[in-house]
């Protein structure tokens, strides 16, 4: 019988989610302040490309800036081009020839070590996100905690997949099913979950036995560079992970189109995801396979509230889901759908809670919201607010920020029609459209009237309506009587329907299947 490397030893403890940091504890607050000072002392350093273990600078560079202080340069990066992309794919393909046979126990061990290091440097990684993408202390800490969870969860999953798989036995054969890696994976993470999703996409491909080319978001390249350093410290061999910062239209396209690229794992906008899918679908000369795409592309998410709900809880969840991290989450509540009987009451509660939110530089933990990611996002969101003023009634926010930084106040626009632009198009900013529904049936129809299907929430105490929502509310992640953000690894496998992506479930027990292929082996017994 053909023998294969088997990993049968699981960690001694089951997977559990990483607790969040209590910043009311003076020791934790002091530790985060110290990390912010440490990270500030590193502003302006240069970070090279990494191809086949070789670090190199390029003549062209770009910078990562602080969106709260756009003149402040945080880091300088070598800028890859199409030639470097070609070289990276070919080097990764060469490295895959041996890396693919690395036992799962070893591969998982690198993730467990990386998780240990990330725990030790949690405040440091939090601090980078506070500066680089404008996360509040709490949002940054949750991001790092999720990254740790991905490392721990996917490491355990790799061990499970490497163990014996159930197959039907017959008398005269010995049979087994094994999962083998695919090849070179291109990982293109977003800037919004700058640590968690970047770590999750990279580690899942890596632990499944693939070589990885990480092309970070240009606005969040610093934290990606530091994670690649951490992987090296954890023992990941040279050449297994390449680091290739650069413009998506040049580097990203070249990586996707290369015939030796086996799969692309992407999280980002609908338009970019569709372009990747289109480019990947066209076979190139010398290509032996159908490229696989794992795409998560955004949402237009709703919280529905009926007349039986806890209205205070509903309003709190809507505000938290809409304005946490400036609404820059694919899972954010951008539509509150309220039935007529409680519309005015819940709307007033939303307005009151929104007006209490603080906006400013998130280095100060008193600020709930920071700046949006960059000038392009700032202009796009401002344009949508102007559209919203024509499509509904502006109740909170909407004013122009005076001074430096890309700050936009939390904005609530009421009396919005279900088919309005701000009710249909992904804004990716702190803008909430409030929609009146005649009744529950109407609310459910409105919730399903977009091209997306990522997250959604229902606030109700009516068991019949809850059961209907479970059947009919078309979202990959549906929540009952809680906010529609904050998915936990292992608890809420994350991914949506329709234009929200390929329904890959990050943090779920089937996720690593996307980075492997199954091989059945049978031997005749003599």
User: What residues are annotated to the active site?
Assistant: 296, 330
Tokens 């640590």, residue located: 195
CA-nearest of 276, 235, 273 to 114 is: 235
Strand order in the sheet with 261-267: 54-56, 49-51, 241-243, 211-214, 184-188, 261-267, 292-296
CA atoms within 13 A on the CB side of 78: 19
Grouping H, G, I as helix, E, B as strand and the rest as coil, residue 415 is coil
Distance, in Å, from the CA atom of 11 to the CA atom of 524, rounded to the nearest integer, reads: 35
Q: What separation in angstroms does the CA of 319 have from each of 41, 60, 136?
A: 35, 42, 16
Is residue 358 within 8 A of residue 370, CB to CB? The reply is no
Tokens describing residue 155? 């490491």
Is residue 511 within 8 A of residue 504, CB to CB? The reply is yes
Distance, in Å, from the CA atom of 201 to the CA atom of 204, rounded to the nearest integer, reads: 6
220 backbone dihedrals φ, ψ, rounded to 5°: -140, 40
Burial 503-522 (b: 16+ CB within 10 A, else e): ebbbbbeebbbbbbeeeeee
């Amino acid at each position: 019988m053909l023998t294969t490397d088997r990993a049968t030893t699981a960690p001694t403890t089951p997977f559990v989610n990483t607790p969040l940091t209590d910043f009311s504890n003076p020791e934790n607050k002091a530790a985060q302040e110290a990390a912010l000072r440490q990270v500030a002392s590193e502003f302006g350093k240069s970070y090279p490309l990494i191809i086949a273990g070789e670090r190199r600078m390029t003549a062209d560079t770009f910078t990562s800036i602080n969106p709260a202080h756009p003149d402040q340069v945080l880091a300088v990066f070598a800028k890859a081009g199409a030639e470097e992309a070609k070289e990276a794919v070919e080097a990764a393909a060469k490295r895959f020839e041996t890396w693919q046979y690395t036992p799962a126990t070893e591969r998982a061990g690198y993730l467990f070590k990386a998780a240990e290091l990330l725990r030790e440097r949690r405040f440091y990684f939090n601090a980078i996100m506070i500066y680089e993408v404008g996360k509040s202390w709490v949002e940054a800490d949750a991001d790092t905690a999720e990254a740790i969870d991905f490392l721990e969860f996917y490491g355990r999953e790799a061990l499970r997949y490497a163990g014996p798989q159930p197959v039907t036995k017959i008398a005269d054969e010995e049979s087994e099913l094994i999962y083998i890696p695919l090849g070179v994976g291109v990982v293109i993470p977003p800037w919004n979950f700058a640590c968690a999703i970047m770590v999750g996409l990279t580690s899942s491909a890596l632990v499944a036995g693939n070589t990885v080319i990480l092309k970070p978001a240009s606005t969040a390249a610093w934290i990606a560079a530091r994670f690649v350093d951490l992987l090296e410290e954890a023992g990941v061999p040279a050449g297994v992970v390449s680091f290739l910062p650069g413009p998506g239209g040049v580097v990203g396209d070249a990586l996707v189109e290369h015939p030796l690229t086996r799969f692309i794992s992407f999280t980002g906008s609908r338009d970019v995801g569709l372009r990747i899918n289109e480019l990947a679908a066209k076979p190139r000369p010398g290509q032996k396979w159908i490229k696989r795409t794992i795409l998560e592309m955004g949402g237009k998410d709703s919280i529905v509230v009926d007349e039986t709900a806890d209205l205070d809880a509903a309003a709190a969840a809507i505000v938290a889901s809409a304005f946490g991290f400036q609404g820059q989450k694919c899972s954010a509540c951008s539509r509150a759908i309220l039935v007529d009987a409680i519309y005015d009451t819940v709307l007033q509660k939303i307005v009151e809670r929104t007006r209490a939110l603080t906006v400013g530089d998130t280095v100060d933990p008193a600020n709930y919201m920071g700046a949006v990611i960059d000038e392009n996002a700032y202009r796009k969101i401002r344009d949508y607010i102007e559209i919203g003023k024509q499509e509904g009634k502006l109740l909170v926010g909407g004013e122009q920020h005076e001074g430096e930084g890309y700050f936009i106040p939390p904005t609530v626009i009421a009396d919005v029609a279900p088919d309005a632009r701000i009710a249909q198009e992904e804004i990716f900013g702190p803008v909430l459209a409030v929609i009146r529904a005649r009744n529950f049936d109407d609310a459910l129809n409105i919730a399903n009237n977009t091209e997306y299907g990522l997250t959604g929430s229902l606030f109700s105490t009516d068991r019949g309506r809850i059961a209907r929502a479970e059947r009919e509310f078309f979202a990959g992640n549906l929540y009952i009587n809680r906010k529609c953000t904050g998915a936990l690894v292992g608890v809420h496998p994350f991914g949506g329907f329709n234009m929200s992506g390929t329904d890959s479930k990050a943090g779920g027990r089937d996720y690593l299947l996307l980075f492997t292929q199954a091989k059945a082996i049978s031997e005749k017994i003599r």
